[in-house]
Amino acid sequence: MWPDHGVMTNGEVSGTGRVWEESKHGIRHLRCTVPLMGTDGRHPVWRVGSVLRHILGLSQPERARAWRDGVVEVNGLRVEAQHRHCVPGDVVSVTFPDIVSTVIPEPGLSLEVIYEDAYLLAVAKPAGQLAHPARSEQTGTVANAVAARYRLEGRSLDAVRPIHRIDRDTSGVLLFARDSRTARLLSRHRDRSPLERDYLALATGNVPASGHIAGWMGPVLGHLTRQRMVDEEEVRLAPTHSPTGDPLPKVAGWSETNFRAVARGRSASLVALRPRSGRTHQLRLHLASAGHPIIGDDLYGGTNEYGMERQALHAWRVTFRHPETGVRIELVAPLPSDIRHAVARALGV
């Protein structure tokens, strides 16, 4: 019998039953029935670790925490190994402690709220502010302000869960989930996420009316943040393991961006961009690789024109179906004054 409380959500793999999930007093409980898929049901085709990943939708850190600090069961019996087989119809359940926030609440920080309900919080991030604490910068970020808001509401145990992040000098919509289930539904498999992010950028030159930029991206060795386009041959030949057999980080990841020119001039264009993947500095590098670096983006060749003292990139809109109600939500942050003034000077609009 399923409990008569908690949240029921449809599984994400064809043929699954429902996933039951509850988070209470800092403890997460999830349960599902192993689906009939690619088998007649008489032979084991699933590993328990795969059920946790593909059916229950747990991330790698969540799975590690479940095995290390929680309890994983098949049909009520505790399982100790991820490779344990289970068959369709088996009930897999997992209980483990949820993340407790380590973000320091800062009530004095301003926070421009765009949207808020029991599941989500969206804010307009100003340029010059980090979205979330970094190793060398634990305070002053948007997440610190969000943590303070949660504490004011009596939600001090809640982790601050950004669904996506934007660079320090990029302004715009920033979305946070209030619970782990909402975060999972919106951010899992970002390349195929139901969440669409639209950006506006003032780019150098006369950008084509529309287009698609795609390719492998990876970090520049010896640089903390800079990225580069990586040749497919380099990706193919890159070693995956060290001489000792330890796995090596991937040289690059695939990236895709759709773009459309909103207004064009001889020396600059206002461009709408929609990333189809979520790589670091993706939009900045893609435009630069196409010969149209963003104005003010000195890291990727953009010139400091039209009064811009940072990259003229703005996370304008986020669109998605609400994970609880199914209602289409559209969140918009208007262009900040520095980009508006730069567009007016560059294009006369």
Tens of pLDDT, residues 120-175: 999 999 999 999 998 888 999 999 999 999 888 766 556 788 998 899 999 999 99
pTM (two decimals): 0.78
DSSP-H helix ranges across 210-298: 232-237, 282-289
Tokens 């100790």, residue located: 80
- Least confident span in 38-47, 66-75, 254-263, 318-327: 38-47
**pLDDT for the residue 180:** 78
**pLDDT for the residue 226:** 95
| CATH architecture of structural domain 113-188 | 2-Layer Sandwich (3.30)
The SS3 of residue 328 is: strand
CA–CA separation, 168 vs 156, rounded Å?
26
- Which listed residue (4, 69, 117, 167) is catalytic? 167
Counting Cβ atoms within 10 Å, is residue 295 exposed (0-12), middle (13-18) or buried (19+)?
A: buried
CA–CA separation, 279 vs 282, rounded Å?
5
Average pLDDT, the chain: 86
pLDDT bin (cut points 50, 70, 90) of residue 7 is very low
What is the mean predicted confidence (pLDDT) over 288-305?
96
Structure tokens at 141: 């970020």
C-beta of residue 135 within 8 angstroms of C-beta of residue 178? no
Can 7-97 and 197-240+251-347 be said to share one CATH topology?
no
- Least confident span in 83-87, 241-245, 281-285: 241-245
On the question of pLDDT at 96 being above 60, the answer is yes
Q: Is 98 a catalytic residue?
A: no
Pick one of 3.40.50.720, 3.10.450.50, 3.40.50.300, 3.30.2350.10 as the CATH number of 197-240+251-347: 3.30.2350.10
Residue ranges per structural domain of the chain: 7-97, 113-188, 197-240+251-347
CA–CA separation, 129 vs 310, rounded Å?
12
Tens of pLDDT, residues 240-261: 888 887 777 788 999 999 999 9
How is domain 7-97 classified at the CATH fold level? 3.10.290
**pLDDT for the residue 5:** 29
